[in-house]
């Protein structure tokens, strides 16, 4: 199995413990567990796939699944998954991440929904209610932007976003905002993939970024070009009071001085282990996945810093109730959105290219939205519909 669970961390130790348990139950099985970073994992999987080699089981980010299916790397697991007694215990939105053209290629093991993560101490300090709409969010961000030293420069800002060229989280934040306008990233129309949003919906998103930066001044001016490495510490230090984030922040909250003040209010994004098409032990790999992601083992494995994707998670003996880091996320899983079931990484990069055009004021939000729409349509025509 290739995965990212470093054995020096809790998740890695938990996986190793479960592998040991499985090997005791099945003495004829030996699990080789290779750990690497996400980028190494993606590149190794692509290269191994081209050589028609690789591990039996591969841990994946949800957005890799369409690429790997197109490359012919993954096994079709529709039959073993649908016949699994636990199949219905996962929400449809979770299975969507692992489903391409009606076929299932993996088990959605975590439900990484996205929520509004905010500093409750700053909200209390300025007497602000948790926002539920964009208008309220802008208003709250403005009120949370404060010039503490009265020198004409704000020291605390209401909000922070990612906008780096190589940002991973930035396109996810954009997608969540676009989904919240009622749009999709893509949709199928007459057998072809086309943009699932209207220019006006993309414009609303770019306008929100623009207004917060240049009208409300509620984003740090230096935040242009931030990725999560800059954004998360800014929340920790109180430089920003709100951001969009996931359940994995519970682990960081436990380590941060200000962690006890981090509160959450909803969206989904997932991770998937699949079986390699060229797997030498396909049946054993499927058995291992079913065992690992049965109720108790899944909740145990996702316990350290993530949210299990099963709907019956609360019935597990390992479930620990947590209103901040579990309940908010769990209640959003059923209505979650998944990234498109087609190779979409190049188009996601356009979200940040056009956001930078807005932040550097080289395009208006309307121009950026039109440009984004045109690029997505052109990408879908040339790289998806024509393949």
- For the bound state, the minimum distance from the C-beta of residue 145 to other proteins, rounded and expressed in Å, comes to 15
Task: Find out whether 274 and 57 touch, Cβ atoms under 8 Å.
Answer: yes
Question: Residue 192 or residue 362: which is nearer to other proteins going by CB?
Answer: 362
Q: Are 76 and 104 in contact (CB under 8 A)?
A: yes
Tell me how far, at minimum, the Cβ of 72 lies from other proteins, in Å: 5
For 68-130, give the DSSP string: HHHTT-B---HHHHHTSTTGGGS-HHHHHHTEETTEE-S---EE---EEEEEHHHHHHTT-PP
Minimum Å distance from CB 212 to other proteins? 17
Among 314, 362, 374, 385, binds other proteins (CB under 8 A): 362
* Among 22-30, 40-48, 101-109, 288-296, the segment contacting other proteins (CB under 8 A): 40-48
Looking at residues 327 to 346 of the shown chain, list those that interact with other proteins (rule: CB under 8 A): 343, 345-346
Binding positions for other proteins, 79-108, rule CB under 8 A: none
Characterize the bridge pairing of strands 270-275 and 186-189.
unpaired
356 binds other proteins (CB under 8 A): yes
| Of residues 268-287, those binding other proteins (CB under 8 A) | none
Please say whether the beta carbons of 215 and 152 come within 8 A.
Answer: no
Q: What CA–CA distances, in Å, run from 209 to 80, 110, 262, 325?
A: 45, 29, 23, 27
The interface mask with other proteins, positions 42-81, x = CB under 8 A, is xx--x--xx----------------x--xxx---------
Closest C-alpha to 56, from 109, 132, 3: 3
How far apart CA 32 and CA 16 sit, in angstroms, is 10
3-class DSSP assignment, residue 240: strand
Q: Is 371 in the site for other proteins (CB under 8 A)?
A: no
Cβ proximity to other proteins: between 29 and 168 the closer is 168
Which of 90, 41, 5 shows the shortest CA–CA distance to 304? 5
For other proteins, the binding residue among 222, 296, 315, 385 (CB under 8 A) is 222
Cβ-based nearer residue to other proteins, 111 or 154: 154
Q: Is 166 in the site for other proteins (CB under 8 A)?
A: yes
Half-sphere exposure of 316 (CA within 13 A, CB side): 24
Confirm or reject binding of residue 37 to other proteins (CB under 8 A): no
The residues that touch other proteins, with contacts defined as CB under 8 A, are 42-43, 46, 49-50, 67, 70-72, 164-166, 221-222, 224-225, 229-230, 343, 345-346, 349, 353, 356-357, 360, 362, 383, 387
């Amino acid at each position: 199995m290739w995965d990212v669970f470093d054995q020096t961390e809790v998740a890695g130790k938990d996986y190793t413990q479960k592998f040991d348990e499985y090997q005791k139950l099945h003495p004829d099985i030996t699990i080789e567990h290779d750990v690497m970073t996400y980028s190494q994992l993606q590149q190794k999987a692509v290269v191994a796939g081209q050589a028609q080699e690789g591990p039996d089981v591969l841990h994946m980010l949800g957005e890799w699944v369409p690429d790997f299916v197109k490359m012919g790397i993954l096994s079709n697991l529709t039959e073993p998954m649908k016949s699994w007694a636990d199949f219905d215990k996962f929400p449809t939105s979770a299975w969507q991440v692992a489903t391409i053209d009606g076929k299932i290629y993996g088990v959605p093991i975590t439900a990484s929904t996205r929520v509004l993560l905010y500093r409750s101490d700053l909200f209390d300090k300025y007497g602000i209610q948790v926002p539920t709409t964009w208008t309220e969010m802008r208003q709250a961000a403005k009120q949370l932007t404060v010039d503490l030293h009265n020198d004409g420069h704000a020291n605390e800002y209401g909000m922070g976003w990612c906008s780096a060229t190589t940002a991973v989280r930035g396109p996810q934040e954009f997608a969540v905002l676009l989904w919240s306008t009622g749009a999709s990233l893509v949709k199928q129309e007459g057998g072809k993939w086309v943009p699932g949003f209207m220019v006006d919906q993309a414009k609303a998103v770019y306008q929100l970024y623009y207004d917060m930066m240049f009208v409300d001044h509620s984003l740090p001016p230096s935040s242009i070009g931030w990725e999560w490495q800059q954004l998360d510490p800014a929340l920790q230090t109180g430089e920003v009071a709100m951001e969009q984030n996931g359940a994995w922040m519970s682990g960081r909250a436990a380590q941060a001085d200000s962690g006890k003040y981090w509160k959450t209010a909803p969206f989904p994004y997932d991770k998937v282990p699949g079986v390699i098409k060229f797997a030498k032990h396909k049946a054993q790999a499927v058995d291992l996945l079913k065992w690992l992601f049965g109720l108790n083992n899944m909740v145990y494995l996702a316990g350290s810093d993530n949210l299990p994707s099963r709907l019956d998670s609360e019935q597990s003996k390992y479930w620990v109730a947590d209103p901040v880091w579990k309940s908010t996320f769990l209640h959003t899983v059923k209505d979650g959105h998944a990234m498109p079931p087609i190779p979409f990484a190049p188009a996601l990069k356009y979200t940040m290219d056009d956001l930078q055009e807005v932040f550097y004021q080289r395009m208006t939000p309307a121009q950026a939205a039109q440009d984004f729409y045109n690029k997505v349509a052109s990408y879908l025509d040339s790289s998806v519909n024509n393949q």
